[in-house]
Chain A
Amino acid sequence: MSTTASSLEPLFTLVAQSYETLESTFYKIPGSAVIARYVKSSHRDDPGRTLLEVILIIFAIRTLLQSRTKAEASGKHFIEFSEKEIGELVDEWSPEPLAQPLNEAERAELDSVPVVVGPTGPKPKLANGKTVLNLASYNFAGLAGNQIIKERCIDILRRYGLGSCSPPGFYGSQDVQTQLEQDIADFLGTEDAILYSQAFSTISSVIPAFCKRGDIIVADRSVNFAIQKGLQISRCTVRWYDHNDMESLQHVLESVEKERIKKNWPLTRRFIVTEGIFEHDGVMSDLPKLIELKLKYKYRLILDESVSFGSVGRTGRGLTELYNVPVSQVDMLVGSVANGLTATGGFCAGSHIVVKHQRINGTSYVFSAAMPPLMTVAASEGISVLRNTPSILTTLQENIRVVRAILDKVDCITIPSHNASAVIHINVRTPSSTPAPAQLLSPTPLSPAIPATPLSPSSAKLSNPTSVRPRHPVQFDAELEERLLQDIVDDALAQGVLITRAKRLRDQELIGARPSIRLAISAAMSKKDCEKAANVIKTSCVKVLSRRR
């Protein structure tokens, strides 16, 4: 007994010593005496409470130490395997190939992409050496190849170099970039603007910067792909209204309000998201009505003017100028510097608060390098050209009229686009007398294979706002129409006019838009050339579409 005690003695002294050191260190911490006194007195008054507190502390530590990833592994669907079994499973598993080689149709699609050799513009040269009339490129105001812009860019190149080499937060905000933001804000009449380095990545960052889980967005069914991605990322509650149908919008706003009252939702941010001129078909929004509704129901408006900025209005300021609506009514005005000013990038204009918020929360602003300085200067110059020469937009509108005058009379096509839209979409007219072909019933993205959610009889004729699919989708055979349109494009190209189909990722778009040919009219083209090009397209349409019957 004594031997054990003696052999354990060094251990006891060690414990006693370490206890002493601990105690003295503890008392060295300022304020520790107070804590010790409190613990002692509480233990004396109520020993049970000490025990409870110790248990609580242990529990807290245990909870903290439990890692979150572990929870998944021990979930109820987790199956325990031995190491050997895992090894066998690993050997057994064979993944799908990362990429399938292109099939014939895809190969043809890729090969049909036109390649411009040398500068692009109203009359570019193609890879086969032919010079063509260009109705495919976004060059609304004819800024491509502008000599003054080129000279300014070279000047800036010699002072700033090319790249900005930094995100704006870390010494990438060049003075010329701030200048362009100021120029855009002044041009549109907003308080401020923020510049993103790519047009597509602008709105898909703007939407999630403001809209979080639980917020409500009411969006048009036919919004462009970038908006769709923004909505997806934001994870908020989305309600849909029929394409450009203000009655439907009002109905949806009404129903959301009712739902909110019924379910007693807290007041969350609410937004209407739509486009000025729709990228999918060139239809123009009724901005005054939109603003009336947004004010009535207290929503904020996110308006994508990627197509309309730089192409409509007296000087190209877009829809607000065309409808003469105060720009402050549009809370977030998103536009494309790439399309509208033939440079690169996109912007979001709005109040100081809106812009400042994005400088920290706009993902693709924060995590991306700033635009090259010379591109910002090209855009600034573009704005001053638009400002100083209103005749450009008049010419553009005349050119649009010339083309529409010819194409509107063609029987075999329909044009959904607005009369003032510089982007003109051409659809194949479905022969209404003949019944829809049988293949139409195959499950294309648009076919109503999925039954619509049952609705109350009173709203039977209205679409379900929670589903992106409209109640009465337009029926068409995407594959066939794409093929016909491509034939028209090829035929027009053979006759010296460069046009293009509107390219879409059909399997990724929420609802498949009707296949179309997308023309982009430019002010740089002479009236005669516009007439000539439109006549070529007309002939091609008639030739290809009459063959189909």
Chain B
Amino acid sequence: MPSRPSPMALQSSSPQPSIFRKKSTPAMSSAASYLSAVSEADARARAHGGTPSSTPALSLSSSVTTSSSDTVLDDPDAEFDDALSYPRNPPTSEQVFTTVHSEFGHCANEQYRFMSQHKPGTPYRSYPEQDPPHYILLTTYLSYLLVICLGHLRDFVGKRFRRSAYRHLLAHDGYAALNSDFDSFYTRRLKTRIDDCFSHPVTGVPGRTILLLDRYSPDYNVTMHPTGTRTRGLNISSYNYLGFAQARGGCADAVEACINRYGVSSCGTRLEGGSLDLHEQAEALVAKFVGQEDSMICSMGFATNSTVIPALVSKGSLVISDEFNHASIRFGVRVSGANVRTFKHNNMKSLENLLREVISQGQPKTHRPWKKILVIVEGLFSMEGTLANLPVIMELKKKYKFYLFVDEAHSIGALGPHGRGVADYFGINPRNIDILMGTFTKSFGAAGGYISGSKALIDGLRLRAHTGTYTEAMTPPVLMQVVASMASIMGISPAPSSNTAVQEVAELERHPGTAPMSLLPSWMPLSPAMVDGSDGQMRLRRIAFNSRYLNRGLRRLGFITYGCADSPVIPLLLFNPGKMAVFSRMMRTRAVPIVVVVVAYPATPLVTSRVRFCVSAAHTKEDMDMVLTACDEIGDLLDLKQGQGERWPLQEIIDRAVELVNMPEDS
């Protein structure tokens, strides 16, 4: 991969790039911003020549000033010689980008777009899970056995000759060990070996690229020390599906305006004086976005599940949970005191059998009928890349009368032609699902979560869930990021002036519709791309393309991946625990570093260690090529290409990317 620095987008004629970093020079900066403002205004005029949606009624005044600073494409943290900060091919005068390339990649090719949608009438299928050759399984078990034996040997020797190092693991002075040597064995003796792949300190925007703060360990990962240098890596790990992790652009401008107006905190719980008008506006918008009657916002994604589920079910109710459901769901169910049964991951036969059993048997021992049965599934499983098989679940729901809770933590925003999550992807009316839960951490680049459903349900939860009474309310800047990013996906419809009330209601009810002006704060700065929804559309179509391209590309290279082809979460199976560390290190130390997440037991079953890619709309097709190239090379070295099915050589995949993405479902 040639790391040829490329000149900057708009100022390509200038010989010295360093000028642009010296923003203190007033003449230069104003000249640069003038140029860019002119070219951008030009582009806007061209883009909106025929679109009727850009109504003059909207307040666009602020966008002119803010966008002129947007177009300064210089990233203050960028080292000029790194290969990721600037696009390889400088943009032509036709193309105007308002984003920083290192945060949100420049991609003008309209071919690299796709729509994430399930083909109606076909059953949902994820890639069939393939088993690796037996020798891989055997060596995986053997390597676990080896490190476990070595670990015990080291403990045995260490406890006798290096007592002081084991003091905290053994009972002393009449105190039991805080963390006994047995409990912590896995962490100490297995995880520590590859600790350099976890908890890596970072800085800056977790966008298309991320800045790693380099570190080294003099003692085999027991302690880590910063070296003081930084490395920019291609970020294919953050849950930044729609690329809203940005320090510039419409959302950041809105958040800045919000901080200036509201400060950073709302100082209390929702029911005890911490409710702001912003909360109510955001909740109305979220409800409109997901297509439910009402919604409630919680300041932490994990807590959305752990504090709300206890208000939905209690003793005498049954929760049926997918075996791979997130820890927060398990936490919430445990707190609730309801009974739990699990079914095999996404196995509808297993779910139906279980339903028949539990309904016919009733509660354990007493055989009384269950008060209610709540089936909890995730829209997109974050470790598997599979989608909940909603079409079948909806059928079962009709027959078995259970309530359905869909955790859309990963799918909301990232899936569906309108970004409305897994229901949108399958073309299912969201109102037929009782409870839709989701988080803002991922697609919206914010924090916290929401729960949505019927008005009666949500009102009840406001009072009865732990959230409203005991947890701090969401802070204003986060709320603003949620509102701005959602509005940007939806597009904004002007406030109806002449419309009758009936039409207005009809507009509000339409799903998936645009964000009505009346639901947004009046002072919110709006950019034209946000208003006409073109920004959001571009993001949705880019992530759909990138996901499908990487998924199918990896498959064609011969790797074993799990999940649905449209999923932005792509697990690539590594199996051997040793390969995890090597894979992660090799990716990180490439000429153009790539930052990946590796996961193993206990987050996955013991043998299926994997690397997980999280694709973003911020990535360009070239970025995906880069990932494929890297995987191809490392895959050969590590003997990872164990998959079956048709294989293409790397170059063919890169050349025929558009064709590959647009192919109908295969295998």
Contact = CB atoms under 8 A, between A and B. Distances in A.
B65 interface: no
Interface stretch (B268-276, B527-535, B645-653): B268-276
A116 B360 contact: no
Contacts of B199: 168-169, 173, 359
A485 interface: no
A34 interface: no
Given A90-B355, A197-B302, 10 more contacts: A99-B453, A162-B245, A165-B240, A269-B175, A353-B168, A363-B327, A364-B328, A372-B446, A504-B469, A518-B272
B359 A93 contact: yes
A503 B212 CA distance: 44
A101 B203 contact: no
Given A116-B276, A503-B271, A503-B272, A158 B266 contact: no
5 contacts: A109-B463, A116-B277, A136-B272, A200-B470, A500-B271
Nearest to A369: B441
Interface in A154-177: 154, 157-166, 168-176
Nearest to B203: A175
Interface of B: 76-77, 103, 168, 171, 173-179, 183-184, 187, 191, 198-207, 210, 212-213, 235, 237-240, 244-248, 251-252, 255-256, 259-277, 279-280, 299-303, 306-307, 310, 312, 326-328, 331, 334-335, 355-357, 359-361, 364-365, 367, 369-374, 399-403, 434-435, 439-442, 444-447, 453-454, 456-457, 459-464, 466, 468-472, 474-478, 481, 595, 597
Interface in A107-129: 107, 109-110, 113-121, 127
A469 interface: no
Given A119-B263, A138-B268, A162-B445, A198 B477 contact: no
Interface string A207-236: 000101001000000001110010011000
B176 A95 contact: no
Nearest to A76: B365
B245 A338 contact: no
Interface string A480-503: 000000000000000000101111
Contacts of A502: 272
A172 to B, nearest CB: 8
Interface in A494-546: 498, 500-505, 508, 518, 520
Given A137-B268, A171-B238, A357-B178, A73 B441 contact: no
A342 interface: yes
B457 A99 contact: yes
Top 7 A-B residue pairs of the complex, sorted by shortest distance between their CB atoms: A136-B273, A137-B267, A99-B457, A198-B300, A368-B302, A338-B472, A369-B441
Contacts of B262: 118-120
A367 B369 CA distance: 35
A163 B270 contact: no
Nearest to A98: B403
Given A85-B360, A353-B179, A372 B302 contact: no
Contacts of B481: 162-163
Contacts of B454: 99
Contact of A170 (B174, B237, B274, B471): B237
B202 A175 contact: yes
A343 B263 CA distance: 10
Interface of A: 73, 77-79, 81, 85-86, 89-90, 93-96, 98-102, 106-107, 109-110, 113-121, 127, 134, 136-139, 143-146, 149-150, 153-154, 157-166, 168-176, 178, 197-201, 204, 210, 212, 215, 224-226, 229, 232-233, 267-270, 298, 300, 336, 338-339, 342-344, 353-354, 357, 359-360, 363-364, 366-369, 371-372, 374-375, 378, 498, 500-505, 508, 518, 520
A161 B595 contact: no
Contacts of B275: 113-116
A109 to B, nearest CB: 6
B267 A120 contact: yes
B341 to A, nearest CB: 8
The interface centre, meaning the residue of A99, A270, A372 with most chain B CB atoms within 10 A of its CB, is: A99
B609 to A, nearest CB: 15
A110 B463 contact: yes
A371 B447 contact: yes
Nearest to A125: B277
Nearest to B434: A98
B255 A162 contact: yes
B76 A225 contact: no
Given A73-B357, A267-B171, A198 B265 contact: no
A153 B277 contact: no
Given A115-B276, A367-B326, A372-B446, A198 B264 contact: no
Contacts of A360: 187, 191
B277 A369 contact: no
Nearest to B462: A110
The interface centre, meaning the residue of B259, B357, B445 with most chain A CB atoms within 10 A of its CB, is: B259
A500 B399 CA distance: 46
B4 to A, nearest CB: 27
Nearest to A140: B267
B259 A153 contact: yes
Contacts of A359: 199
Contacts of A150: 259-260, 263-264
B267 A113 contact: no
Contacts of B175: 269, 298, 300
A339 B270 CA distance: 13
Contacts of A77: 364-365, 367
Contact of A197 (B300, B365, B399, B460): B300
Contacts of B279: 115
Nearest to B305: A367
Nearest to B298: A198
A357 B179 contact: yes
A344 B475 contact: yes
Nearest to B266: A120
Contact of B178 (A169, A170, A197, A210): A210
Contacts of B244: 163
Contacts of B264: 149-150, 153, 342-343, 374-375, 378
Contacts of A85: 360
Contacts of A369: 239, 301, 439, 441, 447
A163 B445 contact: yes
Contacts of A200: 303, 307, 466, 470-472
B307 to A, nearest CB: 7
Contacts of B237: 166, 170-171
Contact of B466 (A118, A149, A225, A378): A225
A90 B400 contact: yes
Given A159-B205, A198-B471, A137 B247 contact: no
Contacts of B401: 93-95
A511 to B, nearest CB: 16
Contacts of A137: 266-268, 273-274
B351 to A, nearest CB: 13
A502 B173 CA distance: 43
A496 B248 CA distance: 41
A225 B269 CA distance: 14
Nearest to B171: A267
